[in-house]
Amino acid sequence: MLCTRLSLFGLALLLVACTDGPSTTTTATEGDDTTTTDVDDATTDETTSTSDDTSGTESGSDTGTTDPSTTDDTSETTDDSTSETTETTEIGPYCGDGVKDDGEDCDGGDFGDLTACEDLGPQAEGGESLACTADCKLDISACAICMAPAEVAPCDSDLNYNRFHALELGCTEVVGYDESNATTILGTSFQSPDNDAWRVIKQLGTHTVNGEPFWRARKGEKMLMITTGNLPLPDNGVLVLPIGEGQTGITDNDNPDDLYQMPGIMTHEPGGIHPVQPEVLTPFQNCLPNLDCSDTLKYHWELDPGKGNDVIYFEVKMQVPDFTEGLAIDFAFFTTEYPEWIDNPNALPFNDLAVIWIDSESYTGNISFIDDGMGKKLPLVSTHLVNRGMIAFEPDAPELVGTGFDKHGGATDWLTAATHVKPGEIITLAFAVIDRGDHLYNSALLLDNFRWTCDPCEAGNVDIPGSCGVSEIE
C-alpha cells in the first residue's frame, strides 16, 4: 500500500495504518487544542495477503486492523478549523507491477520459471499461451492439459478379484481412488453363462524367470483370462492347467453356440465404404456408424460354416478424459489350434477368433487387427499370427508349462491393442473369444493394463510399438 501525504479540511483526527512501516504518529490541530494519537504495532493485527486476494491488492503486504478504543476521537470534526495529517511508510511490491512476487502465480508477463504450456508437467501439451489474470493468478485455459491419469494406481490387490478392477477399470469406485489416478466406468455387461470360461488370476502356469512368474499381471497384481473352454479354480490366484491335449477334442462349454451374428455390439459387416461406389471398401475411412470400419472381419466370419461357438463376450462403457486422444490394453493370445490347424489348407474357417472392439464417435470397429506386412489388415486368428511371425512360444516352450497350451498349442507374447478416441466422448469397449466352426481346440485371451493415452496412436504395423491395432510391446 502506498501511503501519501493527505491534507483534508474539516477533519478533526485521521488515523491511517500503513503496513510494512514503523509506528505511526498522527497530529491534529484544532484551533488552540492539539491532540496526538500514538498507534503502536501492538494494536494492529497483521494478515499476509496471498494470491487468493482480489485484483490490486499488494503482493505479500500486511493489512492493519486498529483497535476501535484507540480511535474514537477520529470521527470528530470542527467548523472553521484546519486539520493536517502526516504519514510515512515504505513502498513495497504489489500485484500489477509486472514482477512476480511471493504469493503470486504470475504478474503481467512475468511467469517465473514457466515459459510455455508444456512447462506445466508431463501431461501438458502445447496451447496458445499462458496467461495471467488481473489478480495475479495463472490462467491455463488456453493450454491442452491431458486429464488422463499420469500414473494409474491399480486397485486389484489382496482379496479383490473384481473382473474389471483386474484390468485397471472402474477403480474410482474404490475408496482412495479418483479421476487423477484411476478410470471411471459408466456401465458394464459380462455375457458368459458358464462361469468356468473366465478367471481373475495372479499367475498362469508354472514357469518363472528370476523368481518371478513369467505369466503375471502387466499392472497391479491380477489379470483376466477368458476362454472358449473351461478353467479350473485357481489356487490363491495361481492357475495351473493340464497339458495342451486337455484343451483339444470335444471341449465345449455352456456359453452360446451356433451364432451366425457376432455377439453384443460387434458385427462382421464392413463399415469403411466408398461414398460413391459402395462395392468398394475403404478401411478406416468414410466410416459408417455401428459397422466394422476396419473391414477385417467379414471375410473370415463368412467362411463356411460361418458361425461361432462357446462365445464369451463382455463390454464396458466409459467417458474419455479431457484432452485425451487414445487408449490401449495389453493382451496375449493362446490356442491349441497351433500347429496342427495352421498348415492344413482347410484350417482357416475353423481358426478361433479374438476381437477387441470399440464403439465411438470417430471410429467403430475391430481394434485387434494385425497387418500382413504389406499394409493389409487382418483379424486376430492363428493362421495370420503364424504368417506374421507372432506366435512366440512353441508347444515345447518352457513358458507354456502349466498354461494348458503346452505340448499341443502355442501363444503370442504380450501385445498391445490401441486406438484413437475423441476427448470427452462416451465409448464402449468390448472383448470376445469365439470358437469358429466347431467346439474343438480351445483358445484364450489374457487381458490386463488398460490405460488412456494423451496422444492418438498412429497408422503402422505390428513391428512398430504404439501403432493403431495390434503391435509389439517395447
Give 249's pLDDT tier (boundaries 50, 70, 90): low
- Are residues 212 and 298 part of one domain? yes
- What domain range includes position 39? 6-85
- Are residues 405 and 319 part of one domain? yes
- Are residues 49 and 18 part of one domain? yes
Residue spans of beta strands (DSSP E) within 69-126: 82-85, 124-125
Answer yes or no: is pLDDT of 30 > 80.
no
pLDDT of residue 380: 98
**Residue range 11-25: mean pLDDT, rounded:** 37
pLDDT of residue 342: 85
Give 426's pLDDT tier (boundaries 50, 70, 90): very high
- Tell me, yes or no, whether 94 lies in a domain: no
Answer yes or no: is pLDDT of 242 > 50.
yes
What digits encode the pLDDT tens for the residues 45-65?
Answer: 433 333 333 333 333 333 334
Answer yes or no: is pLDDT of 14 > 60.
no
Residue 239 phi/psi, 5° resolution? Answer: -105, 115
Answer yes or no: is pLDDT of 41 > 80.
no
Contact by Cβ (8 Å): 305, 411: no
Nearest to 149 by CA among 419, 449, 451: 451
Contact by Cβ (8 Å): 182, 152: yes
- Are residues 387 and 343 part of one domain? yes
Least confident of 14-23, 146-155, 226-235, 313-322: 14-23
- Are residues 368 and 271 part of one domain? yes
Contact by Cβ (8 Å): 248, 409: no
- Are residues 31 and 122 part of one domain? no
- Tell me, yes or no, whether 266 lies in a domain: yes
CA distance 170 to 187: 9
- Are residues 257 and 183 part of one domain? yes
Average pLDDT, the chain: 82
Identity of residue 338:
Y
Nearest to 297 by CA among 239, 217, 351: 351
- Tell me, yes or no, whether 30 lies in a domain: yes
Q: What is the pTM of this model?
A: 0.74
- Tell me, yes or no, whether 97 lies in a domain: no
What digits encode the pLDDT tens for the residues 346-367?
Answer: 888 889 999 999 999 989 999 9
Nearest to 89 by CA among 8, 19, 13: 19
- Tell me, yes or no, whether 152 lies in a domain: no
- Are residues 191 and 52 part of one domain? no
- Are residues 280 and 203 part of one domain? yes
CA distance 452 to 474: 17
> What is the Cα 116 distance to its own chain's centre?
23
Q: What percent of the chain has pLDDT over 90?
A: 61
- Tell me, yes or no, whether 191 lies in a domain: yes
What's the number of CA atoms in the CB half-sphere (13 Å) around residue 265? 22
CA distance 13 to 17: 13
DSSP class per residue in 227-287:
ESS--PPPBTTEE-B--GGGGSSB---SS---BSS-STT---SB-BB-SS-TTSB-TTSSB
- Are residues 368 and 221 part of one domain? yes
- Are residues 178 and 81 part of one domain? no
- Tell me, yes or no, whether 237 lies in a domain: yes
- Are residues 121 and 220 part of one domain? no
**Residue range 222-251: mean pLDDT, rounded:** 87
Answer yes or no: is pLDDT of 76 > 60.
no
Nearest to 162 by CA among 188, 136, 181: 188
- Tell me, yes or no, whether 395 lies in a domain: yes
Q: How many domains does the chain have?
A: 3
